[in-house]
Every structure is written in structure tokens, then in C-alpha cells.
Amino acid sequence: MAAATDGLRSPAGPLIGRSVPRLDGFHKATGRFAYGTDVVVAGMLHGRVARSPYPHARIRAIDTSAALATPGVVAVVTGRDLPERRFGALVKDETVLAVDVVRYVGQPVAAVAALAVEAAIEAAARIAVEYDPLPAVDTPEAALRAGAPLVHEAWTTYVAHPQLIRAGNVCGAATIAKGDPSRGLADADHVFEDVFTTEPVHQAYLEPRVAIAAWEPPGVLTVHSNTQLPFEAQTVLADLLGIPPGRVRVITTGIGGAFGGKLRVGVEHIAAVLAQRVGRPVRIVLTMAEEFAAAYPRHAMRITLRTGVRRDGTIVAKEAHALLDAGAFGGSSPGLPSVATLVLAGPYRIPHLSIEATSVYTHKQNFGSYRAPTGPQCAFAVESQMDMIARRLRLDPLEFRLRNIVRDGDEGPSGQVFGKVSLEAALRKAAAAIGWGHRRQPHHGKGLACSWWTTTGGPSAVYARLHADGTATLATGCAEIGTGALTAVAQIFADDLGLPVENVTLISADTLATPYDHGAQGSRSTFAVGNAARAAAADIRRQVLGLAAEVLEARVSDLGLRDGRVYVRGTPSRQVELGDVVRLAMQRHGGLVSSGTFVAPATPYKTDCVSGHFYPAFHAPSFHAHAAEVVVDPETGTVRALRYVVAQDVGKAINPRLIEGQIEGGVVQGLGQALRERIAYQGAYPLVHNFSDYALPRCGDVPQITSILIEEPSDSGPHGARGVGEPPIITPPAAIANAVHDAVGARVTDLPLSPERVLRAMRGRLEGAA
């Protein structure tokens, strides 16, 4: 297996930096692409889940007789029918079906397998469950009060990562401590304290979660699912079912949107236990009502910032406290305070820091890893306060930021040392593009915001093979989740081998047929899989040139690869078709095959700065600045975005059009969180059950979006690329909030910036002035 440091790499060729079409684009555009909901298996049954109507209750009895009597029903399974094994990413706190106690509205209680979907629906509705309702905690603040009900009374018995900080309803916490914050605040000329809140928002993918599970001799489970992480699903299923992972095959289907919402298992485990019970394949497709009741939306957060500043606008100290609503089970939540602390520090030079973030159980659905988890909430707080401080000190918000941003060679909040930092360029380019400082019309405003983000690590491996017809196959365990990342990987691979990108066939995300990959998450796919593909390409290139040197009677160092041919530099007429070289390799030793691996190098940090951390430094960090122009209706408080600019350091734009698509999509999602979207609750009861209840942005809400790609190469990305998928969603809420304040002088510190909140803030400002 070739390592990512192997030589014989070619320099960036004609494919790098080109906006080649997506490899899956034609099939998606023509309706021929198969998504998870399109997959069927012969003889399959249909599954349906019965769910809790209470946020917290004890299960006294479950009567399945009426469900079993429903025509077409083959089996009904309850929690009592299954071994009580628990699962979870960092703490194993969840069972496949509820046993004894339900902990949120929508928690699975029983499951049905039937010959037809209609029969499964009817049978699930006929399952009679007797509940004793119990007191529920609906906010982290309520869950942390003395005497509050424990969401998990037996939390001390759960298997958990030893690094986790847990206590009662706290399922995870992380801190950053640097310098002497108390002294820094005491020495500051001004200390500003502000509180910000955000509400939960849904990923709003169009295709719900789906899985088809089938058991095959000799006891092998095959699952087709639209999961983002097939290898994690394989491990979880094997653990829950008590079988070796090698007897579980997970195949990722086409994915109709995910955005982090399909990282953790959703229905795969329920389909698997039903299929095991009935001895036939079982398919479960969730409804959108189920998706809104029992998915992994973005966390609601409450953030308190206390920042000390000198008269000249230099930030000297910051204290930050953040609470994350984890919901009823841990999922991704125990590890996310680590990420939150880094974003809360901001991309600023601050010598004294005390930052803590805490994930807290409540009796709500599980909250999870929506694109850039914790990023938008924390950046909203940090960048709103930056503007608030600038206005209070009568400083220009742009100049205030430029005075404090990190630069080349500075230390990050946990002690990591930055290489090249492009943040000043991003801020100046975004400000110039939006016309910062130009006169504005009444009720129009402009806002700036900036932040930083990571390129998630984790290993990637690929298999590669050249064929006698001059085409190639590249196999990766990473799923294509709709971003086009694997097209960029194919570009990288093809460029190194002098092939047209359309000559590369991708095989992805099959735990039996492809090598391990850490998964399509955290802006890592092109970065990590691209590096692994370069390693495999370098090995194949070595083999090709070695054989071609014999055929052409030339030195390897004199050979080049281009357009499916090997040629002698300086004498291009001396060449051999790549297919002929492959045929020679087949005769000699079975063909031209290779593999490549990549593991992101660790980013050094100061261990004494952090505690409870699972993500103590941002790898290959990217820096970005956003600028927005809005108009506010003074009569209704309605905000309309007019123009939006993103200046983002992408390292190297492997495929500019794909990156621009990521930026535009991320901005639209960010505008939704900024202005409209929220999963409303009455206590612990959700009030949103479908897209008709959920205020997604409409086409008419989307402004003109300008993308400015800054290319400051990273040290470890393929051709210097950085992660690009998540940053665009992080800063829109802050940029919009700052633009609203600029337009009407009213500050809203709670998301979303609904017309009611904006109007209330405007009236409060007028009343205060009076």
C-alpha cells in the first residue's frame, strides 16, 4: 500500500483548477440517479415504527395483539424482545427501542414488519402502550437546576469514553484556559457582557432516512442505507447485534441531502432487528413528520460572552460560557463542546481566555451534527458582540476586526501555531465587494462577520486500477453526499495520471468492496480522499513509467504521461498507449493495481490549555469573511437580504464551480437560520411536523451571492486545498444581524431574526431614546 508521501507525483496539470462537470451530474439531471428511496429488494417487507407521544414517561405495558392481528402483518418487535445493548458515539446511552422509559416525543417504542406499507402503518397505530407520564426538563438551564429530574437515572453505568466530563444531566464539557482572564478583565478599560440564544434548526434534506436490511447465509447482514458513514454504521450494527463487523455489510445508496443529519444510525438498526426476526429483507422509509420528531437537528444554544477591551480597541481578555441542548441521548453532542470553544475564541489574538461549553441532556429529540456543528451559533455570538463593541467604542467594525485578527505565525486559542493566515485579505475583499463605507439608503444596512473552521482529520484509503482500454477505477469508502467532492477526487487522480476525468469510474461507500474511510463529514472528503488518491496515483505512475521505459528504451526520468499516453519528453513521437502498458502489466504480474492511504498530520497544541477536549485544534484551518446588505421594513420588521459576499480561503480551488456551489448553498442555509428557521417547542413537545410548518428560504428570499475564492495553499491538502464545505454556513447569521443593526439601529441577540423580534428591538430602541 502506497503512503501519501511517496514520490513520482506530477505537478498540478490541466485538470486542477478547472470546473469539470460532476461525474454524477447527467444521471441526476435526467432522473436516472438511484437514491435510497429508489432501492428495492425482492421479497422485502415494509417496516414502520411506533413512537412515544410523551417527552418523559414510564412504560407500564405494551399490547401488540391488535397489531399482530392486522392483515398482512408478519412481526411486531418491542424493546423487551431485544437484548438490552446500548449504542452511542462517545457514551453508549441509547437502545434500539425504548425499554421501561421514554425520553422524548418520537422515541421508537416498537416496530412492525408487514407485506405492504399500508398494513405496517395501520398496525403501528394499533400498538397499545400504557404510559405513566413523568416530569420533563425542556431546557439545559432547567436540567442543571438542583433537584431536576435526571434524563438518565443510570448514567453512571453507561459505557463512556474516559476523557468525557460527565455529571448528572451533563453529557460532555470542554474548556480552554489561557493566560489570566481575571486579571485581563480587571486591567481592561472596558468590559462588555452580552447573552445570545439560538433555536434548533433542521437540515431539511429532501430525502428522508431509509434502510433495507437483509440477512443472508451464513448469518451475514447486508444493509442498503443513505448513511454518510457506512463504516460507523457497520460497527454500531455489529455491536448491537453481537456479531463480528466482518459479518455486516453496509452499502451507501445515493443520498438526497444529508448535511450531517445522516451521520449517526437512524433506521438501519431497526430494519436489521426486524429482518432478523422475520427472515426476510425489511425496508423502512421515514416520513417527514418522523424526521422532524426524531432526527439530529442543530443544537439550541445559550452563549454568554464577557470581553475586555483597551481604549484603543485591542481585545485583552474573554470569558465565554455556552450551553448546548443535547436532547435525550448523546449522539454527537458529548464531543461538540470542544469545537464550540474554538469558535467562541474567534480568529482573534486574545492573550487571556476562559472558555467553557457544556452539552446537557433534556427531554427533547437528539440534536446532532448539522453542517459545521456549533459554528453558526458561536459565530453569531462572537461576531455580533464584535460589532456591538465596535459601535460602543465608536470604532469602524472592519477596522476593529483588523486590529485584532490573527496573522501569520500567531497562536490559536489552544496554542496551535498558524502558518499563512488569509483573514485580512478576506475581510478587505468582502468589504470592498459590498461597498463598505459607502452611503446607504434609509433602512438599508451592511454587515460584516468573519470566522475560522477546520478540515476534519481521520484516515482515508483508496484502491485503484488501470484497465486495458485506458480507463481507471478508483474505490473509496467515502460517500458522495451531493457536494461533488468525489468528482474533485477523480480530477486529482486523473490529473496525476494524465487521464481525462471522464475515464475514471468511482466506486464508493461499500464496507465490503471499498477500503476504510473516516467518512463524508467535516469538510474532509476532497482533502483526505484526494490525498489518498494522489498516493495511489503515484504508485501506479511509478509502475507505468517503469514498464514504459522498457518499451521505449528510455529513462524513467525522461518520460511523461498525457492524454492516455506515455511519451518521451523532447521527442513526443516516441510514445506508447497507456492501454498497451496495462496489457503488458497484465501479462507480467496481473495488471496495474495500487492502493493509497492518508492520515492528516496531527496539529500541535498546548495540552495544558484544554480539558475534556476531543478536538483541541483546527486542522488545516480556513479563514473566511462575509458581508451582507439588507433592507428592513420599518412597519413590519421584515428583513430582506439584497446582496451577499463571501471571501473564503479554499487553499487551492480544485474545481471552482463546485466550490461556488458549496458557498451559495451554505449561504442560503445560513440565511434560513438567520431569518426564518426554527423547530418550535411548547415545553418539550415539538410543534413542527412537516415542511409546511417549517419556514425554509424561498427562491425569492435568496439575494445575489458573490463568491471570492482566496487561494493560500495549506501545508497538507492535495495541491494545497483546504476544506470548503462547512465554512459558508457559519457566518451568515452574524453578518445579517450586523446588517440589520446598521439598517435600523436595533440589535437582536436571539436567532432567528424574525419580524417580531426585529420590530420589538426597534420599538425598544425608540422607547429607550425617548
CB 489 within 8 A of CB 528: no
CB 337 within 8 A of CB 324: yes
CA-to-CA dists, residue 24 to 184, 409, 485, angstroms: 54, 41, 11
User: Could you tell me which residues are beta bridge partners of residue 682?
Assistant: 685
The CA dihedral of 547, 549, 550, 551, to the nearest 10 degrees, is 90
Cα–Cα distance, 349 to 424 (Å, whole number):
13
Count of CB atoms situated within 10 Å of the CB of 474 = 26
CA-to-CA dists, residue 102 to 286, 328, 333, 766, angstroms: 20, 9, 19, 48
CB 320 within 8 A of CB 396: no
Running DSSP on this structure, what letter comes out for residue 701?
G
Residues 6+ apart with CB under 8 A from 590: none
Here the cell at position 726 is 462547512
Q: Which secondary structure element, helix H or strand E, spans residue 761, and what is its range? A: helix 755-769
> Helix axis angle, 397-404 relative to 423-434, nearest 10°?
170
Here the cell at position 138 is 425542556
The backbone torsions φ and ψ at residue 505, rounded to the nearest 5 degrees and listed phi first, read -100, 130
Closest CA to 379 of 448, 314, 285: 448
Active site (annotated) includes residue 356: no
Sheet holding 45-51, edge to edge: 73-78, 108-114, 45-51, 282-285, 210-216, 220-225, 248-252
Helix, strand or coil, per DSSP, at residue 113:
strand
- The residue annotated as part of the active site, out of 199, 383, 677, 726, is 726
The string over 186-207, giving b where at least 16 C-beta atoms fall within 10 Å of a residue's C-beta and e elsewhere, is eebeeebebebebbbbbbbbeb
Active-site annotation, residues: 726
